[in-house]
Structure 1
Amino acid sequence: MHRGVSKPLFLSLCLLPALASALDIQPGLWEISSNTMQVGGQAVPGMEQMLEQMKNLPPEQRQMMEQMLAQQGVQLGDKGVRICMSEAQIKAQQIPLQDPESGCSNEVTERSDELWTFRFSCPNGQGEGETRFVSDKAFTSTVNGTFDGQSSSMQSQARWVTADCGTLQPQ
């Protein structure tokens, strides 16, 4: 896989917050994008740039990346990655946004209707962040931590796309 694409994409997937969700967000297909990411004080390409780079990969590499993401319940969208959130997950406030085999754990430390703060720990990183629920169809997240021994930060936006997830299954 092209290294310029893989590390920032992996970072963005790992740093997706441990969202459960506010009780009133819509179930269905959500697209999460980020144009503000830093690792070790260096800016890394935003999601749109990474998606453009992926379009230039040889077809077999792109297909391999898309299959790997699909196995984790993620697909590439127009401006970010897409996930499916079921009504049951939202009601239970249990929205896993990383591979259960990743070894990551998350803890929501404060919870209100508009703001959740959390911390996470993974084998190669740890940190904290917050998610602000803008409406039932939008939320933003800020994450700060360390990843592979380097300071990392990411700001992301999520928008509801449609109630129909198509072939994408909730995690």
Structure 2
Amino acid sequence: MRRSLVSLLLFAIVSYGGTAWAADQMKPGLWEMAIKSGLLKSMPTLTPQQIKKMQDMGIKVPKMSDGGMVSEVCITKEMAARDTPPTAGIKSMGCESKDYRHNGTKYSLDIVCNGPDMKGQGRMEGTFSSDEAFTSTYQFKGLAHGQPIDQSSETTGKWISDDCGSVQPMDMEGQK
């Protein structure tokens, strides 16, 4: 269970790491990001005690339901103005984004992982329907904690509000 949960969290971090990013395409503010994947469907449901323990350790546990995970993400004006993808913790896992392309409303990037916990390659492609919504797909094949992983996911993002409230901006390897 612990190894599966760690693999799930690593997969989710890598998935969010390449989430939609293109200058003048994302409206700053609070966004709701939803990921659906086979890996998430296969995960056992966390008990309230497990969730509480993770929260006590400082882990913000996303809402999980129906094979998906929903999180709120704060995007600052500076982050929205960038035309480069965020790294959102992927470097610390031995991963890096490569070959980022943005053409009109479409974007794509590759993620290559060669760290002790995550090895393999992934590809993300997405489309903005407006500055308040996007969809993307992600495929990753490799190893997570020595276990084979061959997963795909679908992510949707929708803008919620100008005000992020208590949600802090994503940490972009020291860039906020």
TM-score by length of 2: 0.72
Structure 1 segment 17-28 matched on structure 2, within 5 A: 17-18=17-18, 19-28=20-29
- Return closer, same or farther for 1:162/1:95 CA change in 2, 3 Å cut-off: farther
- Return closer, same or farther for 1:55/1:81 CA change in 2, 3 Å cut-off: farther
1:101 aligns with 2:92: yes
The Cα offsets for residues 57-111 of structure 1, whole Å up to 9 and x where unpaired, read as 346414146x234xxxxx6358602221111111122452521533321124421
User: What is the RMSD of the two structures over their aligned residues, measured on CA atoms?
Assistant: 2.9
Q: Residue 174 of structure 2 corresponds to which residue in structure 1? A: none
Aligned amino acid, residue 157 of structure 1: T
- Return closer, same or farther for 1:5/1:92 CA change in 2, 3 Å cut-off: same
Quote the sequence identity (%): 23
Deviates more, 1:3-12 or 1:155-164: 3-12
Structure 1 segment 131-150 matched on structure 2, within 5 A: 131-148=126-143, 149-150=148-149
Which structure 1 residue ranges, 4+ long, deviate > 6 Å from structure 2? none
1:53 aligns with 2:45: yes
1:31 aligns with 2:32: yes
Q: Residue 163 of structure 2 corresponds to which residue in structure 1? A: 164
- Taking the aligned partners of 1:95 and 1:86, their CA distance within structure 2 comes to 14
- Asked if 1 retains the 8 angstrom alpha-carbon contact of 2:17 and 2:86, the reply is no
1:116 aligns with 2:107: yes
- Taking the aligned partners of 1:45 and 1:106, their CA distance within structure 2 comes to 23
Q: Residue 84 of structure 1 corresponds to which residue in structure 2? A: 74
- Return closer, same or farther for 1:59/1:17 CA change in 2, 3 Å cut-off: closer
Which secondary structure does the structure 2 equivalent of 1:165 belong to? coil
Which secondary structure does the structure 2 equivalent of 1:96 belong to? coil
- Asked if 2 retains the 8 angstrom alpha-carbon contact of 1:5 and 1:53, the reply is no
Which secondary structure does the structure 2 equivalent of 1:88 belong to? helix
- Taking the aligned partners of 1:90 and 1:104, their CA distance within structure 2 comes to 23
Q: Residue 40 of structure 1 corresponds to which residue in structure 2? A: none
Q: Which runs of 5+ in 1 are unaligned?
A: 38-42, 70-74
- Return closer, same or farther for 1:76/1:87 CA change in 2, 3 Å cut-off: same
Aligned amino acid, residue 86 of structure 1: T
Give the count of matched residue pairs: 156
- Asked if 1 retains the 8 angstrom alpha-carbon contact of 2:133 and 2:157, the reply is yes
- Taking the aligned partners of 2:136 and 2:45, their CA distance within structure 1 comes to 24
Q: Which runs of 5+ in 2 are unaligned?
A: 172-176
Deviation at residue 126 of structure 1 after TM alignment: 1.7
